[in-house]
Amino acid sequence: MNSLLELIQDMLLEIYIEVPYNYTQDIEVKSIKQSLYQLKDLYKDLGISERSFTCKFHEFRKYDAHDHIDNEELCEYYLDFYAKFELEEGPGIFIEVILCNQNRNFKKIYGSDILQHTSDLNEYVKDQIITMLSTLVN
């Protein structure tokens, strides 16, 4: 496993979190956000350098065509999320890995998998990355 991880030159995690209009009251959203924010230290579990690891968090709000857009950034991240995942509901994790030989690969982890693995999200994402690397190398 470590030999696979040594092949990583750069890794990007883009984490998309859907926030409803009154999310400050929503305990489930807070719990999911807390689990997702723990992924910022995933590079330590993977044994890769912090310099090679980028983790970005994007909160978004789902807007319909007739909605008043009250926050452009939330809307922009919704459009980005929708373009990457072709879904209307979050959360989502987009992982891109660049290997030393410049090969690239990406993986999408959808909301249902995230919600199912909230308690062990770091381990789940780590396993997904290792699986992705093994398919790249083999």
pLDDT of residue 95: 93
Residue 129 domain-assigned (yes or no): no
| Higher-scoring residue by pLDDT: 115, 29 | 115
Judge whether 70 lies within some domain: yes
Q: Is residue 133 part of a domain?
A: no
pLDDT band at 87 (very low <50, low <70, confident <90, very high): confident
Residue at 113 is within a domain: yes
DSSP secondary structure string, 95-112? EEEEETTS-EEEEEE-HH
Residues in the chain, how many? 138
Residue 1 has pLDDT above 70, yes or no: no
Q: Please give the pLDDT value at position 88.
A: 66
Identify whether 9 is part of a domain.
yes
67 against 126, higher pLDDT: 126
The reply to whether 93 falls in a domain is yes
Identify whether 136 is part of a domain: no
Least confident window among 15-19, 21-25, 35-39, 64-68: 21-25
Residue 30 — pLDDT band, cuts 50, 70, 90? confident
CA 57 to chain centre: 8
- Is the residue at 10 inside a domain? yes
> Over the stretch 17-26, which tens digit does the pLDDT of each residue have?
887 766 555 6
Mean confidence (pLDDT) of the chain: 84
Q: What is the dihedral of CA 82, 83, 87, 93, to 10 degrees?
A: -80
The pLDDT-based confidence of 74 (bands split at 50, 70, 90) is confident
Compute CA 76 distance to the chain's CA centroid, rounded to the nearest angstrom: 17
Q: 15 is in which domain, residue-wise?
A: 2-121
Rounded to the nearest 5°, which phi and psi values hold at 99? -90, 170
Our count of domains for the chain comes to 1
Q: CATH number for the domain including 49?
A: 3.40.30
Lowest mean pLDDT among 20-34, 49-63, 69-83, 122-136: 20-34
